[in-house]
Every structure is written in C-alpha cells, then in structure tokens.
Amino acid sequence: LAKTTQPISMDSYEGQEVNITCSHNNIATNDYITWYQQFPSQGPRFIIQGYKTKVTNEVASLFIPADRKSSTLSLPRVSLSDTAVYYCLVGDGVFNKFYFGSGTKLNVKP
C-alpha cells in the first residue's frame, strides 16, 4: 500500500514561502501525487496534482524528484487564511484506493 509520511505540524509567518514534504517510498509507476487542504469541520479541497518534475497553478507548486519517492508542496507568501491541514495523497496502485495520511497542520502566524 502506497502510504505517505508527512511532518505532523509546521509553523510559518505571513508572507513567507512554506514547503511541506511528503514521503511515499512505495509509489507505483502509474500513481499520481495529489495534495488536499482541509479547514476545521469542512471537507478537504483539491490543491494540486502531479506525476513528475514540477507543476504550478494559481495557488501552489508541486516539486517531484526523478525517483518520485517524495514530493514537496510549495505555498508562496502564505497568509493567515492558509492555516489548515494539508494532505499528501497517492493511489494504491493496485486497487486504486486512496490513502489519506494524518496530514500536516500548518499554522500561519501574523
């Protein structure tokens, strides 16, 4: 099962760039890496998805090294509203089930 490992929590200040790294040593060849954001008492929301190298959208960038055993979500110039839990997700690769780890709780301070 392609499980993931992330830091439990991170602190940052407004305006800083935040990088959250996820380890997924058993990722399968056809698996994509997806990141979600969750605010308290709400459902997770899709942020970004990638397969290799770098992907960028209007809210984040995703960096994936050649071996794909890890990935890094980069949030540029965070604000207080970015305080949330961030989940790294990879497919099972066999049964196509998804594994949500415990996520990383990002706390942005003023």
The minimum distance between CB 23 and other proteins, in angstroms, equals: 15
Q: Does 91 bind other proteins (CB under 8 A)?
A: yes
Task: Give the chain's end-to-end CA distance (angstroms, integer).
Answer: 39
Question: Smallest Cα–Cα separation from 81: which of 50, 51, 108?
Answer: 108
Q: Does 81 bind other proteins (CB under 8 A)?
A: no
The residues near 65 (Cβ < 8 Å, ≥ 6 apart) are none
Q: Does 95 bind other proteins (CB under 8 A)?
A: yes
Q: Which residues form the interface with other proteins (CB under 8 A)?
A: 30-32, 34, 36, 41-46, 49, 87, 90-91, 93, 95-103
